[in-house]
């Protein structure tokens, strides 16, 4: 198998993919990039013209966007059971909430953090409808738990859990009991703890 090369920054959405990589147990090479410098140089822009992280290179394949990378890795390592098998009913649930978190949930949280509100009568033009619509939908999806797909932990939990964890910490997502219990379960996973330690250790070392 071609080597996995992971491009990231410890203060970015790259932490989502770092967690996912640890869940797979795969060997991977990490390239730590800086905002405004190595993230914008020609070598990296050839991989991701957006000049953003995360990105993953697997042989001749380049995948960007954290949700897409999580889905790619789940399919690349089927033995880890990080996605329901194709054809299973829960595969639809998996896709639904993985991409809901990457779309409506992130948009709603970003709008709130920037102080932007959907003008009255304009919610039909906005993918997330309203902040309350998006947050209530996620809360309902997680009510039965313990994971997005019921008893099976998947890549969707990596993305949804990362989004909720960051959102509650930053204040862009309400601290609801269902969210706190869900994120608490996820943060107890050894893979999350390893990825978190790797990023925090790099942050500390880069300050010296």
Report if residue 182 sits inside a domain.
Answer: yes
Q: Which residue has the tokens 């703890």?
A: 193
Q: What is the pLDDT of residue 199?
A: 98
Query: For 114-127, how does the pLDDT look when each residue is reduced to its tens digit (9 = 90+)?
Result: 999 999 999 999 99
Residues 9 and 71 in one domain: yes
Tokens 């905002």: give the residue. 35
Distance CA(76)–CA(62), nearest Å, equals 14
Q: Please check whether residue 149 lies inside any domain of the structure.
A: yes
pLDDT band, residue 206 (cuts 50/70/90): confident
- Residues with Cβ within 8 Å of 3's Cβ and at least 6 positions away in sequence, in order, are 27, 28, 29, 58, 59
Question: Which of 81, 98, 116 is at the close of a domain?
Answer: 81
The CATH number for 157's domain is 1.20.1050.10
Quick one: 50 and 101 in the same domain?
no
- For residues 96 and 157, membership in a common domain is answered with yes
| pLDDT tens, position by position, 80-127 | 999 999 999 999 999 999 999 999 999 999 999 999 999 999 999 999
Q: Which CATH number fits the domain that encloses residue 54? A: 3.40.30.10
Q: Which domain holds residue 130?
A: 89-191
% of residues, the chain, pLDDT over 70: 99
Same domain, 14 and 94: no
pTM attached to this predicted model: 0.96
pLDDT value of residue 2 = 74
- Is 198 part of any domain? no
Give the integer Cα–Cα distance in Å for 37 and 19.
25
Whether residue 203 lies inside any domain: the answer is no
Would 137 be classed as within a structural domain?
A: yes
Average pLDDT over residues 16-21: 98
Mean pLDDT of the chain: 96
Q: Into how many domains does the chain fold?
A: 2
Same domain, yes or no: 141 and 185 = yes
Nearest alpha-carbon partner for 163 in 190, 135, 205: 135
If DSSP codes are grouped into helix, strand and coil, which group holds residue 2? coil
Both 42 and 117 in one domain: the answer is: no
Residue 1 has pLDDT above 70, yes or no: no
Residue 196 falls inside a structural domain: no
């Amino acid at each position: 198998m071609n080597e996995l090369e992971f491009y990231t920054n410890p203060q970015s959405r790259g932490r989502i993919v770092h967690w996912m990589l640890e869940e797979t147990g795969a060997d991977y090479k990490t390239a730590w990039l800086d905002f405004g410098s190595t993230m914008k140089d020609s070598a990296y822009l050839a991989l991701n013209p957006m000049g953003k992280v995360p990105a993953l290179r697997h042989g001749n394949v380049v995948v960007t966007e954290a949700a897409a990378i999580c889905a790619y890795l789940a399919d690349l390592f089927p033995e880890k059971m990080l996605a329901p098998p194709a054809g299973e009913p829960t595969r639809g649930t998996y896709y639904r909430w993985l991409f809901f978190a990457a779309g409506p949930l992130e948009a709603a949280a970003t709008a709130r953090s920037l102080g932007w509100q959907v003008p009255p009568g304009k919610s039909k033009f906005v993918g997330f409808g309203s902040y309350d619509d998006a947050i209530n939908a996620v809360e309902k999806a997680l009510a039965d738990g313990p994971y997005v797909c019921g008893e099976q932990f998947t890549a969707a939990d990596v993305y949804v859990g990362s989004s909720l964890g960051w959102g509650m910490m930053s204040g862009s997502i309400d601290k609801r009991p269902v969210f706190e219990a869900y994120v608490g379960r996820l943060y107890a996973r050894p893979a999350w703890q390893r990825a978190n330690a790797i990023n925090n250790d790099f942050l500390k070392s880069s300050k010296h």
